[in-house]
Structure 1
């Protein structure tokens, strides 16, 4: 896969000239990581920022009881591990591949040298971190102010926006989602997620086939999420 083509899709490198992209490409080391592998864990001293070229990566936390809470699912072009670029920054979460994934890794020292020549990249990184903070605030709002059905509806709307592909039935999320995975995204049990998904299917708001979820009635789903 063309490394520079994927780097151009990353927000913080958007708009760079070909010579500048070549400089980024020279310090971005490509890796292939198999499905279900942990890339980093809390307290890892990992002085590397990652760019997801292709695949899916889940960022999650574990409670003291071992309960998982999925924070975000990343798509092609997303960056993660950016706390490693801040001196003394340590990750408080896990990063795990959900598919066989292709990533670029940039060491902290190389990135710091890069932004001396291209300070606009630092601004792009700050904007990306601010975006993640806004998304975290939205998740907190969901957990505090929405009930479980509302949280499930909100997450499905977000996934359809990020990963959706339109078809004759509606907007299909482009990867399979198990009931347990959805439960982990909203902080509930698999059994509760199953009950709510079945109700959404019965109301013809969702279509679920072979773990692929299609949003058939976006307006009704927004009403469930309290966004209408």
Structure 2
């Protein structure tokens, strides 16, 4: 892993949720923060587990989803550095509503439920930021449901690849994004075979190039067309 640092005030200041806090407040949070390192596909928690902590992604990528009764994995979100998760159970003291696992080698910071609630009691204005994060999560879930109901598979895959492309620091084509066909299938709630057939067709059309664990976007305009069909 690349990140071998320790929690620090400077690190917390980079997170939107904690930016603007006095250094003494950040120092208290830093002192109570744990660092967790996850291997690819290692689970951090499972649906139904006690919600005893909030997490912040520092490195890598965390997948939030569930496993269906027939054994399929359905992905709700892919979280990247700077994003928080696990906050729902922290607020309502209920069990985890989904699984969280590492897509790649990842590092997350963990803040205990009691420490988070004490922090919000002391700085209530920052509760609005966390509520905003919750609202974004609900909006994303609503959009996911709408996409599943009304968009074709090619449109959904194109939309996902465009979103991953936009996250890259340099979006000049070609852009290579790190996602396996299985992970993409999990996000789309379809079989890997369906994704492979679609991507192979796009590769023949010189829209994308495929390699192990990566997809290179070569023709963004084509994906934009597919996403609107």
- TM over 0.5, shorter chain: yes
How far apart, in 2, do the equivalents of 1:195 and 1:9 lie?
A: 41
* Partner SS state of residue 17, structure 2: helix
How many Å apart are 1:50 and its aligned residue?
Answer: 0.8
The answer to whether the 8 Å contact 1:36/1:98 transfers is yes
Q: Which residue of 2 aligns with 1:188?
A: 190
Post-superposition Cα deviations, 1:125-156, rounded to whole Å, max 9, x if no partner, equal: 10111111111122112101111111111111
| Structure 1 residue runs without a partner (length 5+) | none
Q: Which residue of 2 aligns with 1:21?
A: 26
Aligned positions of 1:118-157 closer than 5 A = 118-157=123-162
The verdict on how the C-alpha distance between 1:136 and 1:87 changes in structure 2, with shifts beyond 3 A counting, is closer
Aligned positions of 1:170-181 closer than 5 A = 170-173=174-177, 175=178, 177-181=179-183
The verdict on how the C-alpha distance between 1:18 and 1:88 changes in structure 2, with shifts beyond 3 A counting, is closer
1:3 has 2:4 as partner: no
How many Å apart are 1:167 and its aligned residue?
Answer: 6.8
Structure 1 runs of 4+ with >6 Å offset: none
Q: Which residue of 2 aligns with 1:223?
A: 225
How many residues align? The count is 224
TM-score (norm 2): 0.90
| Structure 2 residue runs without a partner (length 5+) | none
Post-superposition Cα deviations, 1:155-208, rounded to whole Å, max 9, x if no partner, equal: 11122223x2537642221x2x22222111101111111111012222222122
Among 160, 166, 172, which residue is 2:170 paired with? 166
How far apart, in 1, do the equivalents of 2:140 and 2:203 lie?
A: 27
The verdict on how the C-alpha distance between 1:80 and 1:191 changes in structure 2, with shifts beyond 3 A counting, is same
TM-score (norm 1): 0.90
How far apart, in 2, do the equivalents of 1:205 and 1:110 lie?
A: 48
